[in-house]
């Protein structure tokens, strides 16, 4: 195996353009480019190819040094990346709400330490903010490449030194292992498959394979034919894939192999050359790194400021702004950093990089440690935003398990070691409140009503786990994590034979298998609702569970869900106060009833058929025309669909009649029978 002379290939800059433009248009909501995300995979192939080609050529020439390689990588990547992050940090300081800023701080620290892909894989929990509100989300792919740049030179150096003749075979073996692992993970753990290097490294290694593999002396027509086949594979993925395509998995192989084929063909004539080597394509390819860095933050903050999805005019604006930022970054940051004589000193380069990384990591740590620095907000704005922290105590780990199972343990549930509700002097407990995070949010209402009725109960809950054991209410991996918790709860109810069980859940989510569309900054109640009917398994499980309870003498109270607000209420109110805009986040009752009709009708029907009772929060939260997240000067929600502690206490009178019924039943049971 021999090295190759590193002749400049303009077609590869053109291929970079073909990678970045679909990503840009996909993120800018250009519907034609619904599979534009595969441009990142094309970048992976190109990165693997260039790294392998550069390192192998230096190894063959005897001029390779790790320090020289890493210095070049630092000068190529770090200045533009950290400049973008610094500008975004300034904007975020003045514009983002504390929770959003806390996530931003995490992103800055992770991007600075080349671990953004790991962070964003972890940030997929139930209470995570949406991807549209993460200005540095796109740095996941840069972190993955940077991890590759750390490991690959060492691996190639060792392979070249000890097993030079088998480099191609070794590379092929690693490609096969990683690809098989990717196939498995795409099905069993899609977040890991998407974000983690060992499941995506095959894409970079295919680029390296293209650099290592000998290229026959193709004629112009053969090279053009191979190039066109590769381009066709890439374009097919761009225009035929969508965000519903399982990815990466086998679907990623199409654009990846297409990119490798274009590189291998090296066509300098016919259609591939006309597409990839024209002046426009080459220029876009040259600025592609800066364009990738800037386009997503531009889109995020533009949408944040306008408060809605992108219209056609908005799309044109964000695309133009992205190009302006990219050209400025390329001209005044990228080029000087790569070629300025002042940056030839390795000590200076390493010092600047180390200082930048330390400063960014420290910034991220402080922002995260102090919960997004809410002190940044004006006092009147913070007073409104603070409702975000007005949380039910029943979310405490001793009372509640999060979606990952942290907190309340199934064995504690079986042992009855649960958080108490109601009067501390009344025993034994006469009811159990069972549900998901909506149950934890509304539990203080039940607690206060029970105290006034002088009765006691227990609370048990887990995030995203409705009280419907055995039902399929979402993806398999979501359902599976609820099995043990729900089994423990059923065992507890059978053992303690509570006279009453409150069953509380985010019912619309489970019967439609979706939360409120576009919930958050970009929510728009005028958009049509998509309401698929998945209620059958939920209804069947409820009826079967209630039948089991009835046999042992336990009665059920079904609690209808609260109205969803579509926006994080404290954030929306705080943002409105900051900007002087209309601060009424209430929703039309007609919209809310349309969204929740299936769930409400199902619960009402189950209650009639099983003789169960119902409690309906709409009575207190909605009037004849609208549903309100504010009442009596208090903010009733801490986000878009979870009551605040203030909101839960506001609903306490709603449960008074039910608690009186339970108290009366308890007194009748405790009185000795008298013969007549």
The per-residue DSSP string of 298-357 comes to HHHHHHHHHTS---HHHHHHHHHHHHHHHHHHIIIIIHHHHH-GGG--HHHHHHHHHHHH
Question: Which residues are CB-neighbours of 605 under 8 A, at least 6 positions away?
Answer: 539
Whole-angstrom CA distances from 137 to 40, 56, 131, 149 are 13, 32, 7, 20
Asked if omega into 428 is within 30° of 0 (cis), the reply is yes
Q: Give residue 633's pLDDT.
A: 87
In our burial notation (b when 16+ CB lie closer than 10 A, e otherwise), range 301-313 reads bbbbeeeeebeee
User: Among residues 502, 493, 468, which one has the least CA distance to residue 482?
Assistant: 468
Indicate the pairing of strand 400-401 with strand 555-559. unpaired
In contact, 581 and 538? CB cutoff 8 Å: no
Tokens of 254: 């199409």
d(CA 454, CA 310) in angstroms, rounded, equals: 54
User: Among residues 17, 53, 66, 59, which one has the least CA distance to residue 207?
Assistant: 53
Q: Give residue 342's pLDDT.
A: 67
Q: Give residue 96's pLDDT.
A: 92
List, for the chain, all residue ranges whose pLDDT scores fall below the cut of 50: 1-5, 125-127, 673-676
> What angle do the packed helices 197-212 and 39-61 form, to 10 degrees?
50
Tokens of 157: 């150096």
d(CA 210, CA 226) in angstroms, rounded, equals: 14
Q: What is the DSSP letter of 643?
A: B
Tokens of 530: 């998509």
Question: Which residues are CB-neighbours of 10 under 8 A, at least 6 positions away?
Answer: 276, 277, 282
Q: What is the DSSP letter of 371?
A: T
Whole-number CA gyration radius for the chain: 29
Q: Give residue 203's pLDDT.
A: 98
d(CA 234, CA 225) in angstroms, rounded, equals: 14
Which three-class secondary structure state does DSSP give residue 634? strand
In contact, 505 and 436? CB cutoff 8 Å: yes
Tokens of 418: 């649960």
Q: Where are the alpha helices (DSSP H) in 566-673?
A: 569-579, 589-610, 618-621, 645-650, 656-670
């Amino acid at each position: 195996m021999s090295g190759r002379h590193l002749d400049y290939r303009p077609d590869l800059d053109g291929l970079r353009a073909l990678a970045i433009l679909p990503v840009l248009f996909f993120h800018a909501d250009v519907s034609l480019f619904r599979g534009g995300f595969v441009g990142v995979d094309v970048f992976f192939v190109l990165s693997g190819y260039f790294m392998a080609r550069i390192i192998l050529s230096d190894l063959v020439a005897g001029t390779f040094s790790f320090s020289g390689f890493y210095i070049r990588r630092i000068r190529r990547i770090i200045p533009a990346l950290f400049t973008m992050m610094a500008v975004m940090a300034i904007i975020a300081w003045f514009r983002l709400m504390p929770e959003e800023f806390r996530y931003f701080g995490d992103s800055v620290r992770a991007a600075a330490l080349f671990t953004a892909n790991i962070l964003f894989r972890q940030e997929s929990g139930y209470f995570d903010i949406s991807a549209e509100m993460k200005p540095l989300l796109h740095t996941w792919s840069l972190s993955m490449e940077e991890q590759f740049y750390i490991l690959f030179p060492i691996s190639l150096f060792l392979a070249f030194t000890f097993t030079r003749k088998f480099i191609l075979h070794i590379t092929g073996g690693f490609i096969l292992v990683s690809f098989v692992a990717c196939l498995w993970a795409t099905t069993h753990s899609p977040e890991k498959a998407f974000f983690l290097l060992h499941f995506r490294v095959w894409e970079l290694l295919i680029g390296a394979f293209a650099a290592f593999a000998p290229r026959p002396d193709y004629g112009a027509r053969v090279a053009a034919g191979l190039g066109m086949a590769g381009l066709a594979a890439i374009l097919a993925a761009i225009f035929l894939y969508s965000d519903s395509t399982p990815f990466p998995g086998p679907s990623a192989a199409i654009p990846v192999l297409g990119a490798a084929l274009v590189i291998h063909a090296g066509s300098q004539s016919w259609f591939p050359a006309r597409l990839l080597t024209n002046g426009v394509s080459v220029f876009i390819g040259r600025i592609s790194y800066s364009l990738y860095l800037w386009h997503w933050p531009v889109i995020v903050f533009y949408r944040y400021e306008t408060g809605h999805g992108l219209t056609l005019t908005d799309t044109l604006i964000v695309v133009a702004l992205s190009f302006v930022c990219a050209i400025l970054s390329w001209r005044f940051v990228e080029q000087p950093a790569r070629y300025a004589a002042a940056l030839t000193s390795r000590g200076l380069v390493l010092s600047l990089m180390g200082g930048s990384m330390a400063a960014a990591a420290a910034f991220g740590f402080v922002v995260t440690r102090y919960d997004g620095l809410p002190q940044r907000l004006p006092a009147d704005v913070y007073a409104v935003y603070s409702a975000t922290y007005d949380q039910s105590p029943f979310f405490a780990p001793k009372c509640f398990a999060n979606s990952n199972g942290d907190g309340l343990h199934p064995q504690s549930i079986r042992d009855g070691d649960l958080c108490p509700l109601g009067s501390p002097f009344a025993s034994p407990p006469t009811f159990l409140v069972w549900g998901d995070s909506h149950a934890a949010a509304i539990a203080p209402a039940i607690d206060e009503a029970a105290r006034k009725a002088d009765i006691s109960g227990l609370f048990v809950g887990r995030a995203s786990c409705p009280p419907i054991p055995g039902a399929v209410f979402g993806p398999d991996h979501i359902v599976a994590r609820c099995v043990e918790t729900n089994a423990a709860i059923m065992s507890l109810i059978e053992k303690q034979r509570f006279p009453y069980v409150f069953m509380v859940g985010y019912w619309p989510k489970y019967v439609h298998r979706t939360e409120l569309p576009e919930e958050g900054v970009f929510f728009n109640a005028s958009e049509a609702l998509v309401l698929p009917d998945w209620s059958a398994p939920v209804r069947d499980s409820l009826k079967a569970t209630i039948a089991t309870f009835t046999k042992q003498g336990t009665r059920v109270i079904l609690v209808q869900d609260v109205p969803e607000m579509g926006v994080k209420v404290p954030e929306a109110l705080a943002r409105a106060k900051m900007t002087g805009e209309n601060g009424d986040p209430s929703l039309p009752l007609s919209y809310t009833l349309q969204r929740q009709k299936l769930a409400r009708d199902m619960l009402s029907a189950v209650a009639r058929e099983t003789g169960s009772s119902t409690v309906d929060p709409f009575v207190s939260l909605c009037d004849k025309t609208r549903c309100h997240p504010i009442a009596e000067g208090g903010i009733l929600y801490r986000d878009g669909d979870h009551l605040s502690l203030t909101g839960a206490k506001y609903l306490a009178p709603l449960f008074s009649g039910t608690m009186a019924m339970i108290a009366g039943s308890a007194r009748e049971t405790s009185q000795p029978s008298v013969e007549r």
